Amino acid sequence: MRRVASAFDLTSAKIAGLARYWEAKRGQRAMPTWADFDPAEIKPLLPHLMVTRYERNPFRVRYSLVGTFVVQYGGADFTGEYLDEMEFPSEVDTDWAEVHSLLVTEARPIFGICIFMSESRLQNKYEVAMFPIADPTGSFVERGVHIEDFPLGTRYVADQDAIALKPIPMVATRAGTAPSPAVAPRLEAVEPSALEFRRCLEEAKLPTVDLLGADKVYFCLVEGGDRRAYGGFEIRGSHALLRSIVVEGRHRGHGYGRSLVLELIAEADRRGLRDAWLLTNTAAAFFASLGFTPSARESAPPEIAATKQFAELCPASAKLMRREIA
């Protein structure tokens, strides 16, 4: 883990949100107690959380809660397990026993960037924050609340069967057992006339009048048989114009937007496109966290400037952003 000073040094909105909540709950104390936490107040974050309890003499770390999003990426639910009974073969250079010991000793939040090894042996980053929770008397650290937000800047490669690398680490397992692959969300083609797709766009106040066209492709992000998000791009020469990016309302706040955009970029890469462009009114910070940088409108290539999105549908106030694909 590479430690950073605060949540402001990370890109994760989820980590920033949990940091604000922890600060509000502790008030003038060194740290809040478990009784201060109300799961209903942080419901969108719950799938990303882990809660640990700390035993002493000897010091041991026990996972008392593991969120469903962490289970998805870890490939197993290790609720009730002890850290010293587990192996995390995908982790690179993070001594979790030492990090937990520091949390208990310092009794203050820990923020950092970690690295995991994917199943295709590529190294990828994710962000993490750990918050101490006091015993009922406020005397010592009794629990830890931890949040992981990943993948951050995940790279994709196509193997010989043209299957994209999934942004998942290898499975957390009991010591001495073999890891098995986890299941990550995947792209499926969707027709622009699909009612659910159009409904989501309309609810998000995104345009639907120009969805049709031979140069436009659309997909849904599917997980466990359910559609979590939609999006696509226009193919303009060697450029891709990302568009119609929307997450189903009840699935927002769980990282599906990030996964969708990265999958779309991987799909554009497989089609041999050189760079990705987009226009946004409200999500510039989100796209910046995925490697997009602002561009002046006059810098847009002619193929992008000629699109209906650029020329008519998006207001002049919309920010133009670009990212290289390869």
For residue 197, the domain's CATH number is 3.40.630.30
One domain, residues 151 and 233? no
From residue 51, alpha-carbon distances to 67, 76, 150, 221 in Å are 9, 16, 18, 29
One domain, residues 194 and 303? yes
Residue 291 has pLDDT above 90, yes or no: no
Residue 199 has pLDDT above 60, yes or no: yes
The number of domains in the chain is 2
Return the residue matching tokens 């931890």: 146
Domain contains 43: yes
Residue 169 has pLDDT above 50, yes or no: no
One domain, residues 195 and 169? no
One domain, residues 59 and 141? yes
Q: How confident is the model at residue 179 (pLDDT cuts 50, 70, 90)?
A: very low
How far is C-alpha 143 from the chain's CA centre?
25
Average pLDDT of span 11-15: 85
One domain, residues 17 and 135? yes
Residue 108 has pLDDT above 90, yes or no: yes
Residue 49 has pLDDT above 90, yes or no: yes
Residue 4 has pLDDT above 60, yes or no: yes
Average pLDDT of span 74-97: 82
Residue 159 has pLDDT above 60, yes or no: no
Please tell me the distance from the alpha carbon of residue 279 to that of residue 123, in angstroms, as a whole number.
30
Domain boundary among 151, 174, 197: 174
From residue 103, alpha-carbon distances to 61, 70, 106, 142 in Å are 11, 20, 5, 11
Domain contains 179: no
- Listed in order, strand segments (DSSP E) in the chain are 2-4, 49-55, 60-66, 86-87, 91-92, 110-117, 123-134, 141-152, 173-174, 186-189, 216-223, 226-236, 239-247, 275-280, 293-295, 319-324
One domain, residues 117 and 73? yes
| Average pLDDT for the chain | 84
**Greater model confidence, 116 or 36:** 36
β-strands 239-247, 275-280: how paired? parallel
One domain, residues 136 and 92? yes
Q: Return the pLDDT at 161.
A: 29
Q: How confident is the model at residue 182 (pLDDT cuts 50, 70, 90)?
A: very low
Residue 189 has pLDDT above 60, yes or no: yes
Q: Provide the domain limits for residue 244.
A: 186-324
Alpha-helical runs (H) found in 122-176: none
